[in-house]
């Protein structure tokens, strides 16, 4: 496979694509079935945990999302410049696809102008229980499954992915105030379900 | 009123710690993704011939070998033969399917 790497990158040791990966890429690009199987095997293991964690509890979306990511990776392989490992590159595509999904979900909804976050803060109690981590994880998944999908998406984006309100607003085309309101509603719904499950 | 920062920290700590487990992909998922991937590849033209697979150092399964050594043209050696193989069907539906042929991609997914 032709590689066209900047000399300074190579000399700084920043090129991390192995000869095995180059051969694999070449095989996939020529549609060689065994190389393709190996590529799918590797990529699937690399991205499964990443995608699963970010789409839970919507497990029914995982397979379609992984198909999209693999296909996008294949389409972009001719542009792979070997400035990172194949793994990092594929994970970058996965991140982009998941964020695109979050963005679309949030863009689809209308966020009303009037809402009062302070009311949420005053009324809703803190999570008052320290749970064993496996139990807590199961309860988080259950609660996320019970709230509207867009609430789960915005909570994951904000608190698991650590995106700022400003970033979410920029990516979705909403105002920061609208994102704050959406987050407040999402937190409120989450807390309500969390506390309902306890009682 | 509770400061907003505490609310953020509370949710961050609850959500960041959940879903941490890095899971390996189930073999049946890999099998379905591989089949789908190859079908997408075929939309833009035939796969490379089995002779190319062997020439590039890959093993082929017993069924593919029969085709590969046959005195037929390259075009006949290009279809996705797994499409008609029971190993594919079993692998797409079960995570530990009873398939054992060397050089079968679906067996490789099971082992991974």
Name the average pLDDT for chain A.
84
CA-based nearest residue in chain B for residue A136: B18
**Contact at CB, B33 and A27, closer than 8 angstroms:** no
Look at B112 and B66; give whichever has higher pLDDT: B66
Question: A159-199 pLDDT, tens per residue?
Answer: 988 999 999 999 999 999 999 999 999 999 999 998 887 66
**Which CATH number applies to A7-108: 3.20.20.140, 3.40.50.300, 1.10.1740.10, 1.10.10.60?**
1.10.1740.10
Interacting residues of B13 by C-beta distance below 8 A, sequence separation 6+: none
Question: B22-69 pLDDT, tens per residue?
Answer: 568 999 999 999 999 999 999 999 999 999 999 999 999 999 999 999
Residues of B in contact with A197 (CB under 8 A): none
Task: Give the pLDDT of residue A120.
Answer: 55
**Mean pLDDT confidence for B95-105:** 93
Domain ranges of chain A: 7-108, 117-198
Instruction: Residue B65: give the domain boundaries.
Output: 25-111
Counted domains in chain B: 1
Phi then psi for residue A117, to 5 deg, are: -65, -35
Residue A17's nearest CA partner among A84, A69, A117 is A84
Residue B12 lies inside a defined structural domain of this protein: no
Lowest mean pLDDT among A87-91, A132-136, B38-42: A132-136
**Which CATH number applies to A117-198: 1.10.260.40, 1.20.140.160, 1.10.10.10, 3.80.30.20?**
1.20.140.160
**HEC string for A165-190:** HHHHHHHHCCCHHHHHHHHHHHHHHH
Residue B47's nearest CA partner among B77, B71, B72 is B77
Question: B72-92 pLDDT, tens per residue?
Answer: 998 899 999 999 999 999 999
Question: Does the pLDDT of residue A134 top 50, yes or no?
Answer: yes
Task: Give the pLDDT of residue A19.
Answer: 82
Residues of B in contact with A156 (CB under 8 A): 15
3-class secondary structure, B57: coil
**Mean pLDDT confidence for A137-151:** 90
Task: Give the pLDDT of residue A115.
Answer: 56
Lowest mean pLDDT among A4-13, A56-65, A140-149, B17-26: A4-13
Mutate to test the interface with B, among A40, A136, A180 (most CBs of B within 10 A): A40
Residues of A in contact with B87 (CB under 8 A): none
Question: Does the pLDDT of residue B19 top 60, yes or no?
Answer: no
Question: A148-170 pLDDT, tens per residue?
Answer: 999 999 999 999 889 999 999 99
A30 touches chain B (CB under 8 A): yes
Task: Give the pLDDT of residue A8.
Answer: 43
**DSSP-assigned states of every residue in B21-33:** --PPPPHHHHHHH
A33-55 and A19-29 helices cross at what angle (nearest 10)? 100
3-class secondary structure, A100: helix
B57 touches chain A (CB under 8 A): no
A191 touches chain B (CB under 8 A): no
Chain B nearest CA to A192, separation (Å): 14
């Amino acid at each position: 496979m032709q590689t066209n790497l900047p000399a300074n990158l190579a000399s700084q040791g920043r090129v991390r694509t192995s000869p095995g990966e180059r051969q694999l890429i070449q095989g996939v690009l020529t549609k060689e079935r065994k190389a393709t199987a190996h590529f799918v095997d590797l990529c699937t293991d690399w991205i499964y945990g990443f995608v699963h964690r970010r789409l839970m509890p919507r497990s029914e979306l995982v397979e379609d999302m992984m198909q999209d990511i693999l296909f996008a990776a294949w389409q972009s392989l001719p542009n792979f410049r070997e400035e990172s490992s194949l793994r990092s590159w594929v994970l970058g595509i996965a991140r982009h696809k998941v964020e695109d999904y979050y963005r679309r979900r949030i863009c689809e909804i209308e966020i009303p102008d009037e809402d009062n976050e302070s009311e949420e803060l005053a009324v809703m109690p803190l999570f008052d229980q320290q749970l064993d981590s496996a139990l807590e994880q199961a309860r988080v998944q259950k609660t996320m499954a019970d709230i509207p999908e867009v609430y789960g998406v915005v909570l994951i984006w904000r608190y698991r992915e650590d995106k700022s309100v400003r970033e979410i607003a920029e990516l979705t085309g909403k105002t920061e105030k609208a994102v704050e309101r959406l987050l407040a509603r999402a937190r409120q719904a989450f807390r309500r379900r969390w506390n309902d499950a306890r009682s | 009123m509770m400061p907003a920062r505490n609310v953020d920290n509370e949710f961050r700590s609850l959500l960041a710690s959940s879903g941490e487990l890095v899971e390996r992909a189930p073999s049946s998922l890999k099998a379905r993704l591989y089949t789908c991937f190859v079908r997408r590849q075929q939309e833009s033209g035939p796969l490379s011939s089995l002779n190319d697979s062997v020439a590039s150092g890959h093993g082929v399964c017993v069924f593919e070998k029969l085709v590969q050594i046959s005195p037929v043209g390259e075009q006949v050696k290009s279809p996705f033969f797994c499409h008609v193989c029971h190993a594919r069907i079993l692998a797409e539906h079960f995570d530990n399917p009873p398939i054992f042929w060397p050089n079968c991609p679906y067996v490789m997914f099971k082992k991974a």
